[in-house]
């Protein structure tokens, strides 16, 4: 019998993050997973196949043994059984990889073949145990989008809805944004864009700038005022190098 020892597998919780952009939220929400839940997932991991008389075979070491076709079929059936995880175990595995909203976790569990009742039961349990925190995730995402991407309220709302967060969590997170900061962000965005509209007549420049601001989530009277102020500043400044016909 030929025996080849395979290197010890890296534990799942040490696997590299797939999405660096989610690192902050993963670290924040993963810390809420209790050790008992993670231990339960580890107990479900397939046990190493140990051949008779293999020296040193034990926990943490897997062996690959040359077997007949019938034995291979038996092992294959055992592995299939190990893959039939419960909804709870799949939820733990998913949350260990990336911070998810309750809506995203529901979608993933259903996609894995768990029925709606199982998914809702797990979600209710995880929300009660604070393993799922939609409000906390909404705040983390909102802060990141504002600080890193200078996103407007409207843009942030779209992104949070894409993460299947509930409306109450979204609106609570947006309510924490400062109104003065939002207005200053609008002015900064209008000024920066206006610098790229030199050589156009005033009417065309204003139309294009308003369209740009609308795509960034700003419209109405505030956007119009910011647009005109930005064009006035640049049009009346000899140092800007911008002139409107």
Per-10-residue mean pLDDT, the chain, length 245 = 46 44 51 46 41 37 34 43 76 95 97 96 95 96 94 96 97 96 95 90 94 94 95 66 49
**Which pLDDT score, from 0 to 100, does residue 236 have?**
56
Instruction: Note the pLDDT of residue 85.
Output: 86
Q: Select from 152, 37, 55, 170 the least CA-distant residue to 91.
A: 37
d(CA 183, CA 214): 14
What's residue 199's pLDDT?
Answer: 84
């Amino acid at each position: 019998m030929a025996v080849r020892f395979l290197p010890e597998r890296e534990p799942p919780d040490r696997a590299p993050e797939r999405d660096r952009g989610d690192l902050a939220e993963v670290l924040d929400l993963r810390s809420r997973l209790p050790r008992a839940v993670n231990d339960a997932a580890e107990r479900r991991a397939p046990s190493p196949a140990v051949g008779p008389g293999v020296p040193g075979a034990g926990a943490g070491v897997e062996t690959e043994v040359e077997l007949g076709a019938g034995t291979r079929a038996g092992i294959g059936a055992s592995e299939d059984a190990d893959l039939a995880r419960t909804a709870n175990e799949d939820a733990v595995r998913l949350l260990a990889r990336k911070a998810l909203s309750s809506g995203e976790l529901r979608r993933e569990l259903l996609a894995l073949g768990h029925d709606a009742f199982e998914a809702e039961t797990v979600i209710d349990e995880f929300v009660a145990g604070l393993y799922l925190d939609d409000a906390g995730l909404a705040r983390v995402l909102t802060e990141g989008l504002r600080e890193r991407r200078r996103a407007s309220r409207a843009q942030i709302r779209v992104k949070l809805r894409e993460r299947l967060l509930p409306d109450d969590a979204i609106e609570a997170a947006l309510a924490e944004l400062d109104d003065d900061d939002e207005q200053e962000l609008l002015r900064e965005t209008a000024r920066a864009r206006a610098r790229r509209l030199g050589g156009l007549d005033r009417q065309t420049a204003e139309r294009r700038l308003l369209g740009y601001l609308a795509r960034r989530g700003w419209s109405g009277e505030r956007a119009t005022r910011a647009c005109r102020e930005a064009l006035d500043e640049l049009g009346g400044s000899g140092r800007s190098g911008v002139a409107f016909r």
